[in-house]
Amino acid sequence: MMIDLPDPDAARFQWGQPVVAATDLYNDGSFPDAPDDELLVVEGGPGEIVQIGLHEETRQPVYMVDFGVAVLGCLEAELAPAPARPS
């Protein structure tokens, strides 16, 4: 079960922040539109944080990330800040 993060400042990433997948992301069975174990997002795939919650049992932040092809729930270890865009 996921609940709202009690202290949003404790999260490593914030709403609207561009991120990339820090590793290949596979379907763990929680994404019903794809077979289990299917590759959903390749390492380095760009996304944006669209919601932050807290996994109630583990007390870890869970980030809902829009990768364009899918919105996935990710842990901090599965994400990295997006590289800065050249101006």
Q: Which two tokens stand for residue 60?
A: 């870890």
Is 30 part of a structural domain of the chain?
yes
Is 33 part of a structural domain of the chain?
yes
In this predicted structure, the answer to whether residue 71 has a pLDDT above a threshold of 60 is yes
Which CATH number characterizes residue 24's domain?
2.30.30
Say which residues have a Cβ less than 8 Å from residue 16's Cβ, sequence separation at least 6: 48, 49, 50
pTM summary value:
0.84
Which domain does 52 fall in, by range?
2-80
Is 87 part of a structural domain of the chain?
no
Higher pLDDT, 4 or 36: 36
Say which residues have a Cβ less than 8 Å from residue 70's Cβ, sequence separation at least 6: 31, 33, 34, 40, 41
Is 54 part of a structural domain of the chain?
yes
pLDDT value, residue 84: 84
pLDDT value, residue 1: 47
Mean pLDDT of 80-86: 88
As for how many domains the chain has, the answer is 1
Closest to 16 in 3D by CA, of 63, 67, 50: 50
Is 42 part of a structural domain of the chain?
yes
pLDDT value, residue 21: 98
Higher pLDDT, 47 or 8: 47
